[in-house]
Amino acid sequence: MLADPEVLFPPAGVLDVGEIEGGGWAVVEANPAWASGLYDCKPARILHVLRRACIPLAAVSATDDRWILPGPPERS
């Protein structure tokens, strides 16, 4: 699924997949890195995703810019 160029997925996202009995593999849910559980993965392997999610705004590439949501309006 993620190899399909028409499928867009945030660079710091976590995709939970599971095998459905009699139905094969399926996407269970997608979460931002900071809101996902570790379940049965090796905790050290999530560090790359968390590091990717915590880059300074000035370091965001043009490709990644589409995933940045606007912040709250400035207060006067």
Quick check: is 74 in a domain?
no
Please tell me whether residue 23 adopts helix, strand or coil conformation. Answer: coil
Quick check: is 10 in a domain?
yes
Domain residue limits at 39: 1-58
pTM here is: 0.62
pLDDT of 13 over the 90 cut: no
The number of folded domains in the chain is 1
What is residue 21's predicted lDDT score, i.e. its pLDDT? 92
Quick check: is 4 in a domain?
yes
- pLDDT, one tens digit per residue, over 15-72 is 888 899 999 999 888 888 877 777 777 778 778 888 888 888 889 898 888 888 888 8
What is residue 22's predicted lDDT score, i.e. its pLDDT? 92
